[in-house]
Amino acid sequence: MTIGKYEFNDKEQVKEKIEGLGVDYDFEGNQYPTHNHTIVELGNIVLQKGEYEIKDGEMQMIKEPVLSDKYHVDVIWYDIESHPYGWKTYSCDLDSEGMHKFSGISYLENKI
Amino acid sequence: MKNPILALIPSGYKNGKVYSVLPVDGDGDFDFFRFGDATRVKENGLIETIVGSNNPRLNWSGDCPSLLMEGASTNLQIRSEQFDDAAWTKTRTTVTANEDVSPEGTETADKLECNSSSVLGMRVRGSASITSGSTIVLSVFAKKGNATYCNLALFNDATTDYSSIFFDLGKGTSFTPQTTGSEITLIDNSIESFTNGWYRISITCETSGNTTVRPYIYGTTSNGNFTVTQGDYNYFWGAQLEEGNYLSSYIKTEGNITTRALERRISTTLNGQTQFNKNQGVAFIDVKPFPVDASDVNGNIISLVGGTYNRILFRFRTSNVLEFYVNNAPAPAIVDYDLAHNGGRIKAAIRWNNGNYSVFANGQLLNSYLNTSRFFTDLETFQFQQSTSLYEFEGEVYEIQVFDEALDNNEILKLTEL
């Protein structure tokens, strides 16, 4: 088991990459994954929080939050030790757990 | 009545396995798969973290344990047990950390005390990023202090639109639901009793047009308004804000939002045994399904399958519909029956007997079918999904039985009595 963190261009690209990990179809024609990986789509994450204050009983934003223009994805990889084809280009190498983690599993200790 | 060939009454497990009662040689034990930790309620009512991947959860939500199976969920509210942290903005509220014993039995529950009398209430406020348009379940564990009531609210980013409801922490009831504006709509609420005076309270809201929402937790001494007096206090622990349409088991967060991974690939093939009887038999389930999202058109499935097309499905769909489905070919189904149920625990069975089929639920025969031209060629796998990693069942499993003979109506009616 390894964990990878990725920044893709957009949600559509992520959909293509996930389908590239392996899919099959059931007897009714429904697509399903054939892999054991666990994928969490975080989307355009907040890089810097907005700032707010209450004036006259009303909440007012004094600084807008800064959102990433990348589409972020965290993955627990099952039984692979290196990035699948087409994923490495979009990988991140953090020196912290990042803004998201999997319960009971450290990214730093299981980094791909 | 003959013994079943397969019986699962959740009572024992090891890493990667859930033990079946029958067959006794272990050939019917279920494989089990989940990455990482997850929590359950122990027999004594305390919350426990099941540490490590592939460890099943026997959950005590009543008099007997159930096998808990949940989809992946992410607690989007950081510092779920640390209301003294800057992640929670305080208004007329002083937080004393680790002042009471929490629902997990450790002294980690925080005391939230009013430091200024007001009709506007005392509160703590968090913040979380969400997918625009998602359904949100907000929950927290609450315990009565010298204040009796609290209020749980979800606001939009601009704090103009919100939904809220009051809870009576003495009686364990909720009252005065309110929705203001159109961006946060209250669709459900719950209050569940835990040990030592704790309740887990929750609201479920539909959202629109927001990628940030703000959970508010109020303490109040008044019945139905926010009035507080300096010195009023309650205890809180374990806040959770998740996307989805049901309240899932508690996920602790610290500085990161945290995901509990999906439980999946829970199945048995009666390894080493002959297959399930393809000519006659009964599949029986006793489960409490979790609600299925309206967008999930395929639902959550428990199945007995074989070969390419043979399948006996209990398919839980949106709006509390249980679909009984039997087929053996890429052709119209042999059995396709929809039962609207109340969303609670349900006992259901499907019987097949040389071309005769019947479906049962909660002590009633629902319908019968005859099709003597199409028979199963294989029935080899019982699983809590349709195919591998497809439409996994989400809910609590109390009992599963599969018989290799067609029981009579009276036997199945008794078996499925609630």
- CB count in 10 Å sphere of residue B256: 17
Q: Which two three-digit tokens encode residue B298?
A: 């395929």
CA B174 – CA B190 distance, rounded (Å): 8
Q: Which two three-digit tokens encode residue B122?
A: 């005392």
Q: What is the mean pLDDT of residues B77-85?
A: 97
Picking from B55-69, B102-116, B145-159, B377-391, which range would have the lowest pLDDT averaged per residue? B377-391
Cβ contacts (< 8 Å) between A67 and chain B: which residues?
A: 211
CA B6 – CA B247 distance, rounded (Å): 31
pLDDT at B158 (0 to 100):
86
Distance (Å) of CA B286 to CA B1, B14, B66, B178, B403: 18, 22, 10, 36, 15
* Chain Cα centroid distance, residue B407: 31
For A61, name the nearest residue in chain B, comparing CA atoms only. B158
Q: Which of A19-33, A45-59, B390-404 has the highest mean pLDDT?
A: B390-404
B415: phi then psi, degrees, rounded to nearest 5: -60, -35
Helix (H) or strand (E) holding A11: helix A11-19
Task: Please write down the HEC assignment for all residues of B365-376.
Answer: EEEEEECCCCCC
Task: Check pLDDT > 70 for residue A55.
Answer: no
For B263, name the nearest residue in chain A, comparing CA atoms only. A38
Q: What is the pLDDT of residues B145-157, one digit of tens each?
A: 999 999 999 999 8
Query: Does B256 contact A at CB distance below 8 Å?
Result: yes
Q: Nearest-CA distance from A76 to chain B in Å?
A: 8
Task: Check pLDDT > 70 for residue B99.
Answer: yes
CB atoms B261 and A65 under 8 Å: no
Query: Does B298 contact A at CB distance below 8 Å?
Result: yes
**Interface test mutation site (partner A, options B390, B391, B392, max chain A beta carbons within 10 A):** B390
Query: Does B265 contact A at CB distance below 8 Å?
Result: yes
Helix (H) or strand (E) holding A48: strand A46-48
User: For residue B351, what are the β-bridge partners?
Assistant: B282, B358
CB atoms A101 and B256 under 8 Å: yes
Phi-psi region at B362: left, alpha or beta (left = phi > 0; alpha = psi -120 to 50): left
Distance (Å) of CA B54 to CA A11, B26, B117, B266, B360: 30, 18, 50, 10, 33
Helix (H) or strand (E) holding B49: strand B47-50
Q: What is the pLDDT of residues B23-75, one digit of tens each?
A: 999 999 999 999 999 999 999 999 999 999 999 999 998 889 999 999 999 99
Strands B264-268 and B162-168: unpaired
CA B186 – CA B204 distance, rounded (Å): 6
User: For residue B290, what are the β-bridge partners?
Assistant: none
* Closest Cβ–Cβ partner in B251, B259, B386 for A26: B386
Confidence of residue B108 (pLDDT cuts 50, 70, 90): very high
Q: What is the pLDDT of residues B204-215, one digit of tens each?
A: 999 999 989 999
| More reliable by pLDDT, B279 or A46 | B279
Cβ contacts (< 8 Å) between B260 and chain A: which residues?
A: 103
* Chain Cα centroid distance, residue B23: 28
Cβ contacts (< 8 Å) between A104 and chain B: which residues?
A: 36-37, 49, 51-53
**Do the Cβ atoms of B97 and B86 come closer than 8 Å?**
no
Confidence of residue A57 (pLDDT cuts 50, 70, 90): low
pLDDT at A24 (0 to 100):
85
CB atoms A102 and B129 under 8 Å: no
DSSP string, B233-258: EEEEEEEEEEESSSPPSP---SSSEE
Q: Nearest-CA distance from B1 to chain A in Å?
A: 35
- The residue to which tokens 């995901």 are assigned: B259
Confidence of residue A59 (pLDDT cuts 50, 70, 90): low
CA B305 – CA B378 distance, rounded (Å): 8
Question: What burial class does residue B158 get, using C-beta atoms within 10 Å of its C-beta: 0-12 exposed, 13-18 middle, 19+ buried?
Answer: middle
For B305, name the nearest residue in chain A, comparing CA atoms only. A27
pLDDT at A33 (0 to 100):
84
CB pairs under 8 A between A and B: 86
CB atoms A30 and B390 under 8 Å: yes
What is the ipTM, given to two decimal places? 0.90
- The residue to which tokens 């003597």 are assigned: B372
| More reliable by pLDDT, B223 or B198 | B198
User: For residue B191, what are the β-bridge partners?
Assistant: B201
Q: What is the mean pLDDT of residues B239-256?
A: 96
For B388, name the nearest residue in chain A, comparing CA atoms only. A34
**Do the Cβ atoms of B61 and B393 come closer than 8 Å?**
no
Q: Nearest-CA distance from A11 to chain B in Å?
A: 12
pLDDT at B265 (0 to 100):
84
Q: What is the pLDDT of residues B259-306, one digit of tens each?
A: 999 998 889 987 656 689 999 999 999 999 999 988 888 899 999 999
For the question of whether the overall pTM of this predicted structure is more than 0.90, the answer is: yes
